[in-house]
Amino acid sequence: MPHRDVPLHVDAVGRDHKFGQILRKACCGLDNKCSVYPLTFDKNENMAAKKKSVAMHTNYLSACSFTNSDMQILTASGDGTCALWDVESGQLLQSFHGHGADVLCLDLAPSETGNTFVSGGCDKKAMVWDMRSGQCVQAFETHESDINSVRYYPSGDAFASGSDDATCRLYDLRADREVAIYSKESIIFGASSVDFSLSGRLLFAGYNDYTINVWDVLKGSRVSILFGHENRVSTLRVSPDGTAFCSGSWDHTLRVWA
């Protein structure tokens, strides 16, 4: 498969979106910007020259994600806010104020018609937002330290979070409460990234002790622990078909698990 190397200012990478034969990648980082790159497999194209700055915050950007409309992008920032931007014009469409500290993560609701997203931050809060009104519609404050990762359950009725308090937690949006804690006394390092299996039965969580733990969502028990990385796991994501997942680490490697 052909590949392209593009110099990025990247601290976080958003989802890919395909427009005809063009793939767009959004990335963000410590320069307070979110940029979009049109990626092609033509080696004669200068991708870096086509970089387009879409969003500007007053502090670093920690996360970004295209919305279901493809023409808008959500960002989370160390300035304590999230924001919705128009990709083409770069115009700020909506800002989301409510976190009391750096916002570290966000995830868009999986429904095609969904207009909500969840965010987590250094204020130990997980907040659910209405993108149309800019208002927080639900907030959860049960973690004891920074929330590094949030991910919606496949049905969109719940979400999981991973925190520096060494726990992952499950929140039921219909019941408006925490319904499960995934932890063990032997786990003393923070959880940096979480994602669900395609069925929602398993929760994969990367930790700062270089491991990936696999949790049974219903039973609350750990079913497996995966070793391989040589530094903290910074991100992971399950493949769209659910047959594998990929993890990224501070050891400068990506690993695919199946």
Cα–Cα dist 175/89, whole Å? 39
Buried b (16+ CB within 10 A) or exposed e, 71-109: ebbbbbbbbbbbbbbebeeeeeebebebbeebbbbbbbb
What is the DSSP secondary-structure string of 194-213?
A: EEE-TTSSEEEEEETTS-EE
253 has a pLDDT exceeding 80 = yes
Q: Is 248:233 a contact under the CB 8 Å cutoff?
A: yes
Write out pLDDT tens, residues 87-135: 889 999 999 999 999 999 999 999 866 799 999 999 999 999 999 999 9
The listed CATH number (3.40.50.300, 2.40.440.10, 2.130.10.10, 2.40.10.410) that belongs to domain 59-257: 2.130.10.10
Quote the pTM value.
0.89
**CB–CB of 130/137 below 8 Å?**
yes
Q: Which of 131, 127, 214 is nearest to 168 (CA)?
A: 214
pLDDT in tens, 187-244: 999 999 999 999 999 999 999 999 999 999 999 999 999 999 999 999 999 999 999 9
Q: Which pLDDT value is given to residue 76?
A: 96
Please report the pLDDT score of residue 8 as a whole number: 44
- How far is residue 214's CA from residue 211's CA, in Å, rounded to a whole number? 10
Q: What is the mean pLDDT of residues 19-26?
A: 60
Q: Does 18 score more than 60 pLDDT?
A: no
